[in-house]
């Protein structure tokens, strides 16, 4: 039986830092997750796609606080780039013990009757295929069946999976529905191999993503419909993610935490 000394992650062998990959860690919820994880003792890979300066900023703030982090550019929708991302982490931080499938996109608010196939493919490629590919690479390293020491995966879904995002982006909502099914199925598939798989469903969180939808101030418009009466902060989602990664949730798998103010 493997013995663990880390309180941060039950899958880190004694004396070694747990190793976390956060996809889309350069901004928003991913950046908050990377910074909180580093403060709790993880060596963190901050993955990003385009915004190198933002990713460097996250790594710099972690380093200034005494933590360990690297930034790795990779488009999670491209299989070869995901493989390279994990190989880079193998070489620079060691075997991954935790993955947060956070990278996600949406596009301009549109009704389904106006959405074309190219857009649906882009939305599914990043949100769904990217999460599957990263989970695959993580499992190949974490699974006790393959000589790994176990691990934890947290998928970042959305309340959109439940609400459907009518008139805004049903394609995005459907992609998050797929993430929920991935979480349920994969959690059961790898439960006996030392790997837990859970998800968070954020609600209306103040990040850049709403600008992609064409409405940067969207949270201000919709927050009146939130029972707690406000939008959420990225750190509030990060705290739920860190709990799901930690030993404190050791008996939790295939579960969902809605971080949505009651919405």
Q: Which residues bind ligand NAP (CB under 6 A)?
A: 23-30, 47-51, 54, 75-77, 102-105, 126, 130, 156, 158, 202, 204-205, 207-209
Catalytic residue among 169, 172, 206, 251: 172
Closest CB 84 distance from ligand NAP, rounded Å? 12
| Spatial distance between the Cα atoms of 113 and 233, rounded to a whole number of angstroms | 33
Q: How many CB atoms lie within 10 A of CB 166?
A: 11
- Token pair in block for residue 30: 């991913």
Task: Give the residues across from 99 on adjacent strands.
Answer: 21, 153
Are the CB atoms for 236 and 192 separated by under 8 Å?
no
**Closest of 56, 18, 53, 23 to residue 37, by C-alpha:** 18
Closest CB 47 distance from ligand NAP, rounded Å? 6
Closest CB 2 distance from ligand NAP, rounded Å? 31
Nearer to ligand NAP, 146 or 221 (CB): 221
Q: What are the start-end ranges of the H helices in the chain?
A: 28-39, 52-64, 79-92, 117-124, 130-142, 160-163, 170-190, 209-212, 218-222, 234-245
Backbone torsion region of residue 66, taken as left when φ is above 0, otherwise alpha when ψ lies between -120 and 50, otherwise beta:
left
Closest CB 131 distance from ligand NAP, rounded Å? 9
Nearer to ligand NAP, 18 or 202 (CB): 202
| Spatial distance between the Cα atoms of 9 and 225, rounded to a whole number of angstroms | 36
Give the SS3 label for residue 258. Answer: strand
Closest CB 144 distance from ligand NAP, rounded Å? 28
Annotated active-site residue 169? The verdict is: no
DSSP string, 204-227: SB-STHHHHTT-TTHHHHHGGGST
Closest CB 108 distance from ligand NAP, rounded Å? 14
Nearer to ligand NAP, 24 or 148 (CB): 24
| Spatial distance between the Cα atoms of 193 and 221, rounded to a whole number of angstroms | 44
**Closest of 68, 62, 8 to residue 35, by C-alpha:** 62
- The tokens 């549109």 sit on which residue? 110
| Residues acting as catalytic residues | 172
């Amino acid at each position: 039986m493997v013995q663990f000394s880390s309180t941060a992650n039950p899958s880190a062998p004694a004396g070694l830092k747990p190793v976390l990959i956060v996809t889309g860690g350069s901004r928003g919820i991913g950046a908050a997750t990377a910074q909180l994880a580093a403060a709790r003792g993880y060596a963190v890979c901050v993955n990003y796609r385009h915004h190198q300066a933002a990713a460097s900023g996250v790594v710099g703030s972690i380093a200034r606080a005494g933590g360990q982090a690297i930034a790795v550019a990779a488009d999670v929708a491209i299989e070869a780039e995901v493989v390279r991302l994990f190989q880079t982490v193998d070489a620079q931080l060691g075997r991954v013990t935790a993955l947060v499938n956070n990278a996600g996109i949406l596009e301009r608010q549109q009704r389904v009757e106006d959405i074309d196939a190219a857009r649906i493919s882009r939305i599914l490629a990043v949100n769904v295929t990217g999460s599957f590919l990263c989970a695959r690479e993580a499992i190949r390293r974490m699974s006790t069946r393959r000589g790994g020491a176990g691990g934890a995966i947290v998928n970042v879904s959305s309340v959109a999976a439940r609400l459907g995002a009518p008139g805004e982006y049903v394609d995005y909502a459907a992609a998050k529905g797929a993430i929920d099914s991935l979480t349920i199925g994969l959690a059961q598939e790898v439960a006996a191999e030392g790997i837990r798989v859970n998800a968070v469903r954020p609600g209306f969180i103040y990040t850049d993503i709403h600008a992609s939808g064409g409405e940067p101030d969207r949270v201000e418009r919709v927050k009146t419909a939130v029972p707690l009466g406000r939008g959420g902060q990225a750190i509030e989602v990060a705290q739920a993610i860190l709990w799901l990664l930690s030993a404190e949730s050791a008996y939790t798998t295939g579960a969902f935490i809605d971080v949505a103010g009651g919405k």
